[in-house]
Amino acid sequence: MRLFMHQLGGELRKLFARKRTFIGFGAFLTFEIVVLFLLRLEKVQATVRRVIENAGYDASVYLSGLTLGFLIVMWTVLLLEALFLALVAGDVVSKEVEDGSMRMMLCRPVSRGRILLLKAIVVAFYTFVLTLFVMVTALLAGFINSGIGGLFVFAPLEGVFAFHDFWPGLLRYLAVIPLLSLSLLTISALAFCLSCFNMKPSAATVITLSVLFADSILKNIPYFDSLKEMFLTYKMAVWIHVFDYRIPWETMVENYAWLMAINATLFLIGWQAFERRDFKS
Amino acid sequence: MVRLDNLSKSFRGRPALSGLSLEIGRGEIFGLLGHNGAGKSTTFGLMLGHLHPDSGEAFIAGYSVQRERARAISRVGAIFEAPAFYEYMSGWHNLQFFVSLSGIEPDERLLEIVKLVRLEKRIHDPVRTYSHGMRQRLALAQALLPNPEFVLLDEPTEGLDPEGIQEMREMIRHLRDERGLTVMLSSHLLSEIELLCDRVAILHQGRMIFCGSWKSGEKHWRLDLDDWSKAAPVLEKSGAVSGANQLVSLREGGDMADVVSALVHAGVRVRGVEVVKATLEDFYMSHIIP
């Protein structure tokens, strides 16, 4: 166990010694500031205010830092986090194979399965850290801009429309961090699985994003309404139900169990592909 | 120390290595020669478990690489032609990472090896700032950690300047003489192999065409003949072996005077006979171009 933790430390050092890892965090901050700027536009504010007031709530209470934080997260996760996770997870094995460092690792008396397990843990850790970073910085940006107040959540596609006071709202917002990380882990798992095959790192990233994009489009086509719950992006969006007045625990557990099973299957597929591969110069 | 048992490997139906069998004894420096694509890197890949053989097996220290890889390569260090380090990390952190895959080594041990390869002044600098020679020395350091008994060196002098080549040569000798390591190396620089190796194997198009000891300075003769096709059966009959570049060697007990006499009697004009102290290059070429 001590050796495993030592090796894990080495893998984490590799990840966080790369400038690219931090460029990702920088990109998120920039993007959050852009989204915040957009949310400050009078037209956008008026729209949000109207929605809140039409529901019979006080906009001065619910157009708060917490609400802005949630809106920033919605946009950032949709547009940027998926891309970054696909980039990093798609790189994690295939880039090392491409650079030749994987061959050097495989000169050591360590099994291929162990190398993959270490890398999978690092990818999962990165997914969690990135989500934590996005959610905390979004919240801070929201607080700085709009101060403390209630939380208003509006996600029409998932059917969530809710208002929460500050403390319950903050609690739910924080509860989303591990759940959103779990959801996003599926993106990482898919990219990671593909990177175990004999392909370029960019190919793993592009295929992952293409799969998610196609899944997302197909899910919203009326023809597939009856199958909606089977789509990956449907299951991944289940975290948002934490903001429902009555959290549908059963549905959430079921969907997360599905996601975990999919992640485990992707890891096994990747592992088998990696085991059977030849590594040559 | 090492036994390769009928190893074969093909890529997309094209054979890269066919039925390679050889043995390397403890403390030996063994050279693997061959042109590009002859199967040298494939052999190394199979010995380290990077490649899965189509047939055959490689044994290191009695353990099968294919069935007990971790045990087989637990005492193996390797260097590749172009060692791939993490450029953004220091040499020290690279060493720490690679050695962690074998076990936990104290910093003192790392420092000892760093000093051995004379990198102590730059070991905490990022690898991207290293020269090619420094990278090779770092590669040697990682190969020597934790404590190998057998070292595989794939083109260890590739891209080094003459000083670097000499340094690497001395290092390899030191490893064998002082530490008793077994070394297997491949190189395009035949002179290097000539200076270092006890035995060599020559690979040609995936097949081993020679394996054995080669004595530097072995006598050959360069014959200037008017008709080589007419001379071939006569040479064969009189105990001579013809190779490339008009070179001829003698089988045990053979005498060049008898060979020349036989050629003259057979009507072959012998314009000149020159004694040549053969280099490994001549030896290699005579096997590659029979």
Structural domain includes residue A281: no
pLDDT at residue B244 in the model: 66
Residues 6+ apart with CB under 8 A from A136: none
For B159-210, what is each residue's pLDDT tens digit? 778 888 888 888 888 888 888 899 999 887 787 888 888 888 989 889 988 8
CA distances from B214 to A202, A204, A274, B219 (A): 49, 50, 41, 12
Structural domain includes residue A178: yes
For B116-162, what is each residue's pLDDT tens digit? 888 999 999 999 999 888 898 899 899 988 788 999 998 888 777 88
- Across the range B269-275, mean pLDDT stands at 86
Q: Give SS3 for B182.
A: strand
- Across the range B281-286, mean pLDDT stands at 74
End-to-end Cα distance, chain A: 32
> In chain A, whose CA is at the least distance from the CA of B69?
A109
B217: confidence class by pLDDT, cuts 50, 70, 90: low
Q: Are B73 and A107 within 8 A, CB to CB?
A: yes
B216: confidence class by pLDDT, cuts 50, 70, 90: low
Q: Does A5 touch chain B (CB under 8 A)?
A: no
A183: confidence class by pLDDT, cuts 50, 70, 90: very high
Higher pLDDT, B214 or A19: A19
Structural domain includes residue A21: yes
Q: What fold is seen in the domain B2-213?
A: Rossmann fold (3.40.50)
Contacts of A23 in chain B (CB under 8 A): none
Q: Does A3 touch chain B (CB under 8 A)?
A: yes
- Mean pLDDT lowest among A1-5, B110-114, B255-259, B279-283: B279-283
Contacts of B74 in chain A (CB under 8 A): 109
CA distance B22 to B27: 16
Q: For B56, phi and psi rounded to 5 degrees?
A: 90, 180
pLDDT at residue B191 in the model: 79
- Count the Cβ atoms, other than its own, within 10 Å of residue A265: 12
Which amino acid makes up residue B203? L
Contacts of A103 in chain B (CB under 8 A): 48, 50, 80, 84
Q: What fold is seen in the domain B219-288?
A: Alpha-Beta Plaits (3.30.70)
- Mean pLDDT lowest among A141-145, B86-90, B156-160: B156-160
Q: What is the mean pLDDT of chain B?
A: 86
B224: confidence class by pLDDT, cuts 50, 70, 90: confident
Cα dihedral sign, B76-B79-B83-B85 = positive
- Mean pLDDT lowest among A192-196, B78-82, B242-246, B256-260: B242-246
Is the model's pLDDT at B289 over the cut of 60? yes
| Percentage of chain B exceeding pLDDT 70 | 96
Please give the tally of structural domains in chain A.
1
- Which of A20, A108, A119 to mutate to test binding with chain B, by most B CBs within 10 Å of its CB? A108
CA distance A232 to A256: 11
Task: Tell me the whole-structure pTM to 2 decimals.
Answer: 0.85
- Mean pLDDT lowest among A46-50, A248-252, B165-169: B165-169
For A144-174, what is each residue's pLDDT tens digit? 988 899 999 998 888 899 999 999 999 999 9
- The domains of chain B are located at 2-213, 219-288
Structural domain includes residue A262: yes
Structural domain includes residue A80: yes
- Across the range A49-56, mean pLDDT stands at 89
Burial class (CB in 10 A: 0-12, 13-18, 19+), A225: exposed
Is the model's pLDDT at B278 over the cut of 70? no
- Across the range B50-54, mean pLDDT stands at 94
pLDDT at residue B215 in the model: 64
pLDDT at residue B165 in the model: 84
ipTM of the complex: 0.82
pLDDT at residue B290 in the model: 54
Q: Are A10 and B41 within 8 A, CB to CB?
A: no
Cβ-nearest to B100 among A10, A99, A100: A10
Is the model's pLDDT at A252 over the cut of 70? yes
A70: domain range?
2-276
Query: What is the DSSP annotation of chain A?
Result: -HHHHHHHHHHHHHHHHSHHHHHHHHHHHHHHHHHHHHHTSHHHHHHHHHHHHHTT--HHHHSSHHHHHHHHHHHHIIIIIHHHHHHHHHHTTHHHHHHTHHHHHTTSS--HHHHHHHHHHHHHHHHHHHHHHHHHHHHHHHHHHH-S--EEEEEGGGTEEEEE-HHHHHHHHHHHHHHHHHHHHHHHHHHHHHHTSSS-HHHHHHHHHHHHHHHHHHHTSGGGGGGGGGSHHHHHGGGGGGGSSS--HHHHHHHHHHHHHHHHHHHHHHHHHHHH-----
Q: Are A281 and B82 within 8 A, CB to CB?
A: yes
Q: What is the mean pLDDT of chain A?
A: 91
Is the model's pLDDT at B245 over the cut of 80? no
